[in-house]
Structure 1
Amino acid sequence: MAQAKNGDKVRVHYTGTLEDGSIFDSSEKGADECSDDSCGCGGQAGAPMEFVIGEGHLIPKFEAAVIGLEPGQRVQVSIASEEAYGPRAEEMVAVIERSEIPGDINPEPGQQMEVILQDGSAMPVMVTEVTDTTVTLDANHPLAGQDLTFDIKLVEIL
């Protein structure tokens, strides 16, 4: 049977967990767990994830873990935060005056927003705290500073 190698287009199922064992993402979520796309599956709940090994669209250690697998085989890989989404950077957290938020937006903790930078590019941020006068925005990736473990099953090599 063929083994996955660099350059192969593959489909995998995966479940990602944090150090405490909680699941932060899974390709195997059922439709009943994702009625509004809040899981980020793009409407593909339960569908395997498809990617080309070596293109660099995923965490490199995740991609490397698939190399050598045959369809149906599983592997578990632990990825330190430095090799995943990096350490949390406190300089990526800003407290701004609530008056700087457009009046038609009512910020709430957990809400994702985009901030337009001076060069015109957009940066995604998460609202983490709201008071009567301030809003705290965090531009760190939600998994920054977290060590991750993935259980990966190679479904097929395309």
Structure 2
Amino acid sequence: MAPASKGDKVKVHYTGTFKENGEVFDSSRDGEPLEFVLGEGMVIAGFEGAVLGLNPGESVSVEIAPEDGYGHYNEQLAFEVRREQLPPEVEPELNMMLEVRTEEGEAAYVTVTEVNDETVTLDGNHPLADKVLKFDVELVEIV
């Protein structure tokens, strides 16, 4: 069988850790493998690049810089809103994820990073922005 290439649907097991301290932030090892199509942008570029060229049963360890991961932290994506701008049923708590609408009407997700009596700070950066990530990836199957 040919190695994994663009257009292939693949199944992989992975463990993701932070380069700085080795802490595991995500893993598929206790569940089903992750399934995605190479070349469709379904996973971050660095992860996809690690899978390209692998044969089923092969493993690789890869370090992924922010440019090929979740990007660099963008200060402009963190903003403060008055509490009354939130829906009345939402009681904001630190690290809570909320869905908001962009000016174009598209859904975006933000994290609550600060709460006080009058305002709430929301951050639209991905929680893994600015992080150097390490992934141990095993190609389980080309479907």
TM-score w.r.t. length of structure 1: 0.84
The 1-side partners of 2:122 and 2:12 are apart by 34
SS of corresponding position for 2:50:
helix
**Would you say 1:18 and 2:18 are equivalent positions?**
yes
**Which amino acid in 1 is paired with 2:111?**
M
Partner residue, 2:109: 124
1:5 aligned onto 2:37:
no
1:52 Cα deviation (Å)?
1.6
Whether 1:148 and 2:141 are equivalent positions in the alignment is no
Moved more, 1-10 or 140-149: 1-10
Structure with more strand by fraction: 2
Stretches of 4+ aligned residues off by more than 6 angstroms: none
Question: What are the equivalent positions in structure 2 for 1:27-106 lying under 5 Å apart?
Answer: 27-29=28-30, 46-106=31-91
The residue that corresponds to 1:34 in the other structure is none
Q: With structure 2 as the length reference, what TM-score do the two structures score?
A: 0.92
Q: Distance in 2 between matches of 1:91 and 1:63?
A: 28
Deviation (angstroms), 1:125: 0.5
1:71 Cα deviation (Å)? 1.5
Q: 1:102-126 CA distances to partner (integer Å, 9 max, x unpaired)?
A: 2211010111111223332222111
Note the alpha carbon deviations across 1:84-141, whole angstroms, 9 max, x for none.
1111011111111112112211010111111223332222111111111110100001
CA distance in 2, matches of 1:102, 1:53: 39
Letter in 1 for 2:25: F
